[in-house]
A and B are shown apart, each in its own frame.
Chain A
């Protein structure tokens, strides 16, 4: 599953990133790590970015970014 497919408000766990090393680095730098629990707070219209919550902070992620973030359900 990718973050882009998750409905708003549902908590999921990040398990990994697709894409190049540079892309992964950038996510890590902004404090999004595999193992983190996250949820989508809102989606901007017209294929705009997602606003996600991770460790009490809010991050805006472009859709093409969210398409490359692998997540799983929290059991």
Chain B
């Protein structure tokens, strides 16, 4: 038996799904967090039921990929009951989709979610009246607190067993959106009584957070505090963790002997394991926790609102700010989040620019080379330079791919108090993606690399990339770290010692070379995990274009950096 959850974006479908299925779907107080469907088996009253969480959709006739997924799913799969999750605090809009679903000949149940929010707005909903009018079961729900969930699923099960006729349903002959909009409004007027709205701190918050002046001030403070906390926690955890693993590697590989093939292989694999833990635990985990918090509060759309004007200057609109912010943690979720943009052109540009954002792994390279050997100021300068390069690339891409549908249209959700459980679960969900998809590649790559250097084959790779290193005035030996940096960006740093034959990089490379190398690493070819995601989102062609673009950008930026560095250092 299969139940499908259908509803508008940000109505709480995924929250409901997670309540029954354990944490499997991403939720967020941002339109369109779920972009593909998630399925899970749950047991309800002794029966095993497949529950599907479909992406939020405004209509079944929609055009963006998330909406197409929902439409296709309902058309092609055997769904026993459609559970239409509606936002009771915005019933008129939610009912438009309900009216469309009434036309789909499947058992339908209407879950009025966010009843607490509706109450806060002073709305009283006449559920039984609506139930009678629509001819389908209408049930109250507060998914975030788990209230009404059990009742809803028992009722759905009952409905699936009964297989009622569709004759008693409210009949909408109108097939056009305008008519449904009017009807939704009428129904809402009929069955919802507006009382007095209680103004709370949440309503006042935007007076500050979206203020033309204080809004930007608080945005800066929030982002600063956010990154400060992430790096603060990261720096606290990383060194002791690395020390433990270094000790472990010595203990394990010692008996095997460093110059045997097994010793080299085990060492390589353990290095990969270590790199994964050193990146994920200290930096990515606090980053994802913080992001989840901002997301569930509802701050991300506010950032989009504030940044829209600026984003226009690079040919995108405010919504595309999310991939950029995500990009500083990891480019993989950044590319993934471009799905919420409607236009293929916007998706391409946003994905291309997001891959130029220095992720946590590249941050390690910047810190390890530039900050460590040249000081914190050049490192900070690199970040400013990076923004500059992204802006120029954006301008060029915008010139090449003109916009055809203008502007930002984005729903601004009310602020919500996030539950810690949801935030933790979300971070765990995203971490798991990294562990399952990227980490194995990293470990395998590290092992292969160890074998290559054991057989002394790695040096041949240097010839392959020599044209680039020659133009940039870099030693030929950095070719191997660059190639393996495509596996995972931090390998460019980790392997540099091996490639140069010393851990004191400043003895083998001049400051100009260190600086140029870091700039090149910052931009050239995204890591394998990002490439996989680019292919998934934009197709092979899009992935190849972006790869070519990053090489060109890296080369030009590298040359510019070399020129600047020659003057400074």
* Chain A contacts to B: CB under 8 angstroms: 19-20, 22-23, 25-35, 42-49, 51, 55-65, 68
Contacts and interface: CB of A to CB of B under 8 A. Distances in A.
Contact of A61 (B121, B301, B409): B409
Contact of B90 (A23, A56, A63): A56
B406 interface: yes
B305 interface: yes
B426 to A, nearest CB: 24
A44 B312 CA distance: 13
Contacts of A42: 206, 210
A56 B94 CA distance: 13
A30 B58 contact: yes
A67 B139 CA distance: 41
B212 A62 contact: no
Contact residues on B (Cβ < 8 Å of other chain), bracket: 35 or more
A62 B406 contact: yes
Contacts of B217: none
A25 B212 CA distance: 30
Nearest to B197: A56
Contacts of B412: 51, 57-60
B58 A31 contact: yes
B92 A48 contact: no
A65 B177 contact: no
Interface of B: 58-59, 62-63, 89-90, 92-93, 96, 121, 177-178, 181-182, 185, 206, 210, 212-213, 215, 301, 304-306, 308-310, 312, 317-318, 342, 404-412
A30 to B, nearest CB: 5
Contacts of B96: 31
Contact of B408 (A28, A35, A46, A49): A49
Given A26-B342, A34-B178, A42-B210, A48 B306 contact: yes
Nearest to B94: A31
Given A29-B62, A33-B181, A60-B318, A23 B411 contact: no
Contacts of A58: 411-412
9 shortest A-B CB distances, which residue pairs? A62-B407, A48-B309, A62-B408, A58-B412, A65-B407, A29-B58, A45-B212, A64-B406, A46-B309
Contacts of A49: 305, 308-309, 318, 407-408
Contacts of B59: 29
B410 A59 contact: yes
A58 to B, nearest CB: 4
A62 B308 contact: yes
A47 B412 CA distance: 19
Given A33-B178, A60-B318, A62-B409, A47 B93 contact: no
A30 B411 contact: yes
B409 to A, nearest CB: 5
Contacts of A31: 58, 93, 96, 181, 411
Contacts of A26: 342, 405, 409
Contact of B309 (A22, A30, A47): A47
Most buried by A among B58, B317, B406: B406
Most buried by B among A23, A27, A57: A57
Contacts of A23: 405-406
A43 B178 CA distance: 28
Contacts of B404: 20, 22
27 contacts: A20-B404, A28-B177, A28-B181, A29-B58, A29-B59, A32-B409, A33-B177, A33-B178, A33-B182, A35-B182, A43-B212, A44-B215, A45-B309, A48-B309, A49-B309, A49-B408, A51-B206, A51-B210, A51-B305, A55-B90, A57-B411, A58-B411, A59-B412, A61-B407, A62-B312, A63-B407, A64-B407
